[in-house]
Chains A and B, each alone.
Chain A
Amino acid sequence: MEADALALEAHFIHQEPYYEPVGNEIAIFATAWQHKLPVLLKGPTGCGKTRFMEYMAWKLQRPLITVSCHDDLTAADLVGRYLVKGGETVWVDGPLTRAVRAGGICYLDEVVEARKDTLVVIHPLADDRRTLPMEKLGQWLTAPDTFCLAVSYNPGYQSVLKDLKQSTRQRFVALEFNYPEAELEARIVTAESGIAPEMAARLVKFAHMTRNLKGGGLEEGASTRLLVHAGKLIVGGIDPVTACRSAVAQAVTDDADMLAAIQELSSSLF
């Protein structure tokens, strides 16, 4: 039990994570949490969804257990399984079960990547039953009031296969995230990378240029996260054009023509 408490302790966030609210997402999330509603975060990659979850976990003082979903994720990976230890079978909780027991926040990142049959286990947890069926133990685990289920996904994927089923998505309060307004984004880049505000504004402008190319050869424009990377390289003494190439252009595309075009954009700007 002590070991469990220690393990759980690691999931508490003690220092306030840096987060700039874009709209009223903090109030919505807090209210949803009070009313025991699960939350769905939509938005492109690198716009601050995970950071927002860290911030809310800190604000609500709940442990945050994050699961990055992938297409081999099974229900047992989430709920738990029997292992054999020293000649005996021992039940080991999965991350979702641990979060439920601790009354914490379970955050399933990129939930569409998980297999559809896996996701079904969260259904009873995500409606007013708030219970987790643990088939192999023959138990139903009821979530305490402080438990919160949050999932994220990126609706920008063009693939029809990477979409949430209605039966899954219609259980959640949805929060839409997008890249912040230019001034705010520049402030975030400055705060995160330590770059000069004027340079941050240029980086944001560069990001807007790449976002203009979305759909015309780029799957996704440069995210705030990439700008922070570029900012850190620039602070570290790398020339801005090179930093943009390494941290942004190469990260968003492999296409030679597109790389050259982005390169021309950054060399025009700096």
Chain B
Amino acid sequence: MTETVVGVDAIVKQLHVCLEADLSHYRVDRLGAELAALTPEDSAFILLWIKRMATVHLELGWQFGRRAPKLLASMGQRQMAAWAELACDTYDRQGLRAALQAVEKVENFASRQLEMTAGVLFADMAGILGNFVRGLSGRKLFLEQGEVIHTDSERIFLPAVIACLPDYSDNFQIAKAAVALQWAQIRFGSYRLDWRGVCQSYPDPQRALQQLHGLESLRLSARLAQELPGLHREMTRLRQVMGESLADGWHEFLPILHAPGADIAVSATCLPRAYALPDFRPWSFQGEIRPEAVAAALAARQEREKARLRVKLKALQEDQPLSAQKKPAEKALGPPGFSAQPRDEEGHLDVALSLDGQPLAPPEGVKQLMLSVYLDFGEIPPEYLVPAGDGEYAPEQLGEVAQDPDAVWKGTYHEEGALLYPEWDSGRQHYRKNWAVMRERDVEPVFDDFPRATLEKYAGLVKHLRRSFEAMRDEHRTEKRQGQGDEVDIDALVEALADARAGREMSDRLFLHQYRTERNIAVAIMVDMSGSTRGWINEAEREALLLLCEALTLLGDRYAIYGFSGVTRKRCELYRIKRFDEPYSAEVKARISGIRAQEYTRMGFAIRHLTTLLKQLEARTRVLVTLSDGRPDDYFDGYRGPYGIEDTRMALLEAKQGGVHPFCITIDREARDYLPHLYGTASYVILDGVDQLPAKVADIYRRITTR
């Protein structure tokens, strides 16, 4: 018994700290007692999650804690962790209110479903089923998490968890069937009908909508039986297991709806009779119909696709040789201009394109667009096939224009044109998804005397660097006396022949072999442009970069230089100083000259982005070198302290897993406290003073990239 009392005390103490009970006045004593009554393992689990959630928001941690002890037995740890993560993610996206609602839902959910241990989570489904649905033909669809199963004709929404059956794999099959059925709605033209309009004439339009949805499900299930027989078998089995039989009278529709070529119009003609029948019993994987969502997506898509298709056709027309464009004899073969013939038979969907009656192989992009248009209309409307006139569409209409990064702060804030990177929240032990909003920007080049002055100032050093870097360049090495090779080694041969004449055994190592030691290195240099570098650190950084560039150009390694800085997660900026595919030019020198100190040291996003860039290059060795003056730090949103360090460490771990070698050069004397934790024991150098930076950086680079 005494042990439990000690447990209670210890737990209450911990709760006190993590929920800041002194200030927040949460009544942690009772919660502590409840937790102590659980098994040590369970109470530790809940306590861990309370701590994690409290780092996100105290109230979230408290509300979670209040409910968790009662629910754990029915939920199981896996589900409880999933719901806690959902609540945190909701907080990231929609704020406290929505997150608290999500916490409350845990209760509803647990009371409704006891077999939650077998539930399949959205995260489990998204990866596999996302690829699954893109493998099916037609428009490229994306999976997103939503309240219920439905589609807006571009995205398919699935709930956070599907738990209809006590078996995990059955639940996964339900999710798969749901995705396939939503896909079938788009693929087989369910939305070529004004659902609301048709249902409006009935006394209860909502009921009419549901009955029509039922008819469509029956029709599509027949189409799926042809298209994906394996899946259809599975769907039939699931319906049997779930006991989802057809209501009275519905069987009479089957022959009509299962007839080959039956389309949405056939379903609509059945609706008056179906309306009189009992309610269609919805299938577990059927989801909902949301005509408004579809209409909104369609409205946005139509003009965009029309513009894109017409612009692409214009380019295609211009690509055709003139002789093909103006041959009167051939013009007579078919109608002038473009025409498209969709082919949709036996489950095979394709579009053929012809120009002036001559068949043309459409590029993949054009084909995709035409397929998407076909799915909306069941044909390619002729006005879509008129090539666009010059300047008819502004780039914005094509949706392909990059937004000016500065404009973000002039008008209302937006995230268009930005890349979103996750951040690791160490408190929560979980990623914050799409958290850092990252943009690449250009450094304003400054054409001044700085590059020349620097090279003059360090003339002796430059000479030394040149010599030592030249020695590292690719070299052809010829090895003598090899067993095989490109040429005969005459010396060895003469010797061997002499040996043979003398009656000794003749060596067979008579060849010259050429080895080529190839340096195949790509390096991204990440320069700290935070406010703390203002002044002479900034100048030393610029000098170091110039000298390094001189050396690297000599060496022939591919390299890029980016500066990083940020204010809060909403404004993470990477400054392009030199891209990988850019030569070391006067412009680049001017940009190095133009490096100015900016804001704060947010590092995770920069590491993640540069890792992505590095991974796109084919190089045997990829190196990420960071020049920095201090620990990761950002203003306001908690990047200070452990959070920033841990996120940076996670980003570096990701980089290492991706085959990138990170290395850090810093002038922060306290760096010994945290750098080994971030980079490992051997992958950093701490310089004693700023003045060493120019002299040492190139040398360090040489050391880390040679054997």
- A82 sits at the interface (CB 8 A): yes
For residue B448, CB closer than 8 A to chain A, the reply is: no
Question: Is A216's CB within 8 Å of the partner chain B?
Answer: yes
Q: Contact between A213 and B135 (Cβ–Cβ < 8 Å)?
A: yes
A111-147 CB mask vs B (1 if < 8 Å, else 0) is 0000000000000000000000000100000000000
- Does A81 touch B at the CB level, under 8 Å? yes
Contact A84 B618 (CB under 8 A): no
B107 in contact (CB, < 8 A): no
Q: Which residues of B contact A162 (CB under 8 A)?
A: 618
Q: Which of A76, A217, A257, A268 contacts B228 (CB 8 A)?
A: A268
Cα distance A201–B129 in the bound complex, in angstroms: 24
CB <8 Å contact, A262 and B230 = no
- With contact pairs A209-B137, A264-B176, A270-B229 given, residues A216 and B131 touching in the complex (Cβ less than 8 Å): yes
Q: Which of B25-33, B63-71, B485-493 contacts A (4 or more CB under 8 A)?
A: B485-493
Query: Known: A205-B348, A269-B230. Contact between A81 and B487, CB under 8 A?
Result: yes
* Nearest CB in chain A to that of B489: its residue: A84
Taking CB atoms, residues of chain B closer than 8 Å to A262 are 131, 135
CB distance from B29 to the nearest CB of A (A): 46
**Distance (Å) between the CB of B364 and the closest chain A CB?**
9
Known: A89-B493, A159-B618, A264-B129. A269 touches B135 (CB 8 A): no
Residue of A nearest to B138 (CB): A212
Partner of A209, one of B130, B136, B487: B136
For residue A88, which residue of chain B has the nearest CB?
B497
Contact of A10 with B by CB under 8 A: no
- Whether B497 and A260, one on each chain, are in contact in the complex, defined by CB atoms closer than 8 angstroms, is no
In the bound complex, what is the Cα–Cα distance between A161 and B129 (angstroms)?
A: 33
What 0/1 readout, one digit per residue, does chain A (158-180) give for beta carbons within 8 Å of chain B? 01111000000000000000000
Determine whether the beta carbon of A205 is less than 8 Å from that of B347. Answer: yes
Residues B488 and A212 in contact, CB atoms below 8 Å apart: no
Quote the shortest CB–CB distance from B498 to chain A (angstroms).
11
Q: Flag if B230 contacts A268 (CB, 8 Å).
A: yes
Chain B residues 217 to 259 lying within 8 A of chain A, measured CB to CB, are 228-231, 234
- Least Cβ distance of B286 to chain A in Å? 17
* Interface pair B487/A213, CB less than 8 Å apart: no
Number of A residues, CB within 8 Å of B: 35
Cβ–Cβ contact A264 & B488, under 8 A: no
8 Å CB interface, A238-270 against B: 241, 257-258, 260-262, 264-270
**Docked complex: B112-155 residues within 8 A CB-CB of A:** 127-132, 134-137, 140
Q: In the bound complex, what is the Cα–Cα distance between A82 and B346 (angstroms)?
A: 62
Q: Does B186 contact A (CB under 8 A)?
A: no
What distance in Å separates the Cβ of A89 from its nearest Cβ neighbour in chain B? 6
CB neighbours of B230 from chain A (8 A): 241, 266-270
Contact, CB under 8 Å: B348 / A261: no
Number of interface residues of B (CB under 8 A): 33
- Across the interface, which residues of A come within 8 angstroms of B350, CB to CB? 182
Contact string against B for A residues 195-210, beta-carbon threshold 8 Å, 1 for contact and 0 otherwise: 0000001000100111
CB-defined interface of A67-105 with B at 8 Å, one 1/0 digit per residue? 000000010100001101001010000000000000000
Nearest-CB residue, chain B, relative to A205: B347
Chain B residues with Cβ below 8 Å from A82 are 487-488
Residue of B at shortest CB range from A182? B348
User: Is residue B500 contacting chain A, with contact meaning CB distance below 8 A?
Assistant: yes
Q: Can you list, as one digit per residue, whether each of B196-233 has a CB less than 8 Å from chain A (1) or not (0)? A: 00000000000000000000000000000000111100
Say whether B506 faces chain A, with CB atoms less than 8 Å apart. yes
Contacts of A161 in B (CB 8 A): 618
Q: How far is the CA of A209 from the CA of B486 in the complex (A)?
A: 47
Question: Residue on A with the closest CB to B231?
Answer: A268
- Asked, given contacts A160-B618, A213-B131, whether A269 binds B486 with beta carbons under 8 Å apart, the answer is no
Smallest CB separation, B480 vs chain A (Å): 15
Cβ A209 vs Cβ B135 within 8 A? yes
**Whole-angstrom distance between the Cβ of B590 and the nearest chain A Cβ:** 27
Chain B residues, CB < 8 A from A74: 486, 514
- Cα distance, A264 to B135, chains bound together (Å): 10
Nearest Cβ distance between residue A164 and chain B, in whole angstroms?
16
Check if B595 is an interface residue, CB within 8 A of chain A. no
Q: Tell me, in angstroms, the Cα distance from A269 to B136 when the chains sit together.
A: 10
Given A76-B486, A212-B136: A87 in contact with B506 (beta carbons within 8 A):
yes
Q: Which residues of B contact A241 (CB under 8 A)?
A: 230
Q: Once the chains are docked, how many angstroms separate the CA of A76 from the CA of B234?
A: 60
User: Max chain A CB contacts within 10 Å: which of B131, B176, B488?
Assistant: B131
Report the Cα distance A260→B125, complex, angstroms: 10
Within the complex, the shortest CB–CB distance from B667 to chain A, in Å, comes to 36
Interface residues of A (CB under 8 A from B): 74, 76, 81-82, 84, 87, 89, 136, 159-162, 182, 201, 205, 208-210, 212-213, 216-217, 241, 257-258, 260-262, 264-270
Q: 27 A–B contact pairs at CB < 8 A?
A: A74-B514, A84-B493, A87-B500, A87-B506, A89-B493, A136-B487, A159-B618, A160-B618, A182-B348, A201-B346, A208-B348, A209-B137, A257-B127, A257-B128, A260-B127, A260-B128, A261-B128, A261-B132, A262-B135, A264-B132, A267-B231, A267-B234, A268-B180, A268-B228, A268-B230, A268-B231, A270-B230
Q: 7 tightest CB-CB pairs across the interface, nearest first?
A: A261-B131, A268-B231, A209-B135, A257-B127, A268-B228, A260-B128, A76-B486
A87-B506, A265-B136 known; 18 other A-B pairs, CB under 8 Å?
A74-B486, A81-B487, A82-B487, A87-B500, A136-B487, A160-B618, A161-B618, A205-B347, A208-B137, A209-B136, A209-B137, A210-B135, A216-B131, A261-B128, A262-B131, A264-B129, A265-B135, A269-B229
